[in-house]
Structure 1
Amino acid sequence: MHKKNIVTAGKDISTASKALIMLHGRGATAEDILSLANHLHVSDYALIAPQATNYTWYPYSFLAPVQQNEPWLSYALALIEDIVADVNKAGIPSDKIYFAGFSQGACLTLEFVTRNAQRWGGAAAFTGGLIGESINHANYKGDFKNTPIFIGTSDPDPHVPVARVNASEAVIKNLKADVTVKVYKNLGHTIAKEEIDLANKIVWGGDVNR
């Protein structure tokens, strides 16, 4: 199972009023995804980045049958739930908790918030979609209450088909999120400055306090 190996940055959680949970991609590190925060409008946030065991949240493609990615997927979702509980205990309510992830971390971000739809602070998924060979609508319930969610991706992308991004958008929108999807032609499997700027505007409200 995934150990609770957390790397933190930004404001101390005991004094912060907002938190950002950041999820790295396959083969990457918590420190890698934390570096993204340098480009986001989150200077007054507690930054929390868990490290996946063996650098991967689950072993196979996010489009594989879910049972092939178990028990690792369930462990990863449970770890995020545990982190959210810790943040709540520190005095930060769920509507002040934000999420950001890239690639495998973006898929995990969307999977967690959509399985637990409520008013979150917001979420940015850089190249990701809901997890599974097909989308299991029974997994997703709740009301996002207009939580701002940004999903950016490339057309084509070697790992994340645009069709899955669009299908994920429909599920998330149905749960009453304020979701924005931006598809970039031939961007490649990366994060572009334009995506970051758009995420800042949509999720972090264009706050210039960096």
Structure 2
Amino acid sequence: MHTKNILTAGKDLKDAKKAMIFLHGRGGTAQDILSLADHLPVEDFALFAPQATGNTWYPYSFLAPPAQNEPGLSSALEILKDLLDEIQLQGIAAENIYFAGFSQGACLTAEFVTRNASRYGGVIIFTGGLIGDRIYENYKGDFAGTPVFIGSGNPDAHVPVERVKETQQIMQEMNARVEVKIYDNRPHTISRDEIELAVKFIFE
């Protein structure tokens, strides 16, 4: 189970009109992923980065049967739901709330927004996809045109391209505008090109 521990930066929530939630990867930290904000046009945003207890959101691969990743997975999703509710209670509408994650955090981002689809400001998935040994029927809501950027490598050590494409298809069926960029033989990292493409697609 995760203890609620959320790093904040940027504007105070009460002064901001927009918010962004960042999710770190396995072994990473909230501080690490929050540094991504330096490369995004989010100067006027309230920024949030939950910290996974033990630096890991769930113990096994995102392709494992979900039951094997409990209770970490459900606990992580619950922390995100609580955070989203808190931001909205402060008067920021879903369409002004953005998400970004890398690796395990990208998988968690994809899973959370697709289980709770709405018109969000935008979603950035740096090397990730929907969680599970197969696609489950856990997804509901309507993205209503939310822009979603997914970047990944082929091959990637953790995220197969097939799952990226399945994720794209499901999100599109739920009315997201999804742009996918696959980089041949790229290491498991976030590239400058990916960031630039995401910024253009999500913020411009």
What is the TM-score of this pair, normalised by structure 2?
Answer: 0.99
- What is the deviation of 1:89? 1.3
Distance 2:85 2:156 in 1: 34
Secondary structure at the aligned position of 1:59 is classed as coil
Q: In structure 2, what is the equivalent of residue 87 of structure 1?
A: 87
Distance 1:123 1:42 in 2: 14
Question: 5+ unaligned residues in a row in structure 1: which ranges?
Answer: 206-210
Q: In structure 1, what is the equivalent of residue 112 of structure 2?
A: 112
Deviations 1:33-58 (Å, cap 9, x if unpaired)?
00011001111111100000000000
Q: In structure 2, what is the equivalent of residue 176 of structure 1?
A: 175
Distance 1:40 1:103 in 2: 18
Structure 2 matches for 1:27-46, cutoff 5 A? 27-46=27-46
Secondary structure at the aligned position of 1:8 is classed as strand
| Aligned-partner residue type, residue 159 of structure 2 | V
Q: In structure 2, what is the equivalent of residue 145 of structure 1?
A: 144
- What is the deviation of 1:147? 0.1
| Aligned-partner residue type, residue 39 of structure 1 | H
List 4+ stretches of structure 1 deviating above 2 A: none
- What is the deviation of 1:203? 1.1
Secondary structure at the aligned position of 2:117 is classed as coil
Q: In structure 1, what is the equivalent of residue 67 of structure 2?
A: 67
Question: 5+ unaligned residues in a row in structure 2: which ranges?
Answer: none
Distance 1:147 1:19 in 2: 15
- What is the deviation of 1:31? 0.2
Deviations 1:15-70 (Å, cap 9, x if unpaired)?
00000000000000000000011001111111100000000000000000000001
What is the TM-score of this pair, normalised by structure 1?
Answer: 0.96
Distance 1:88 1:47 in 2: 14
Q: In structure 1, what is the equivalent of residue 22 of structure 2?
A: 22
How many residues align? The count is 204
Distance 2:90 2:46 in 1: 11
Residue identity over aligned pairs, in percent, reads 60
RMSD: 0.6
Q: Confirm whether residue 103 of structure 1 aligns to residue 103 of structure 2.
A: yes
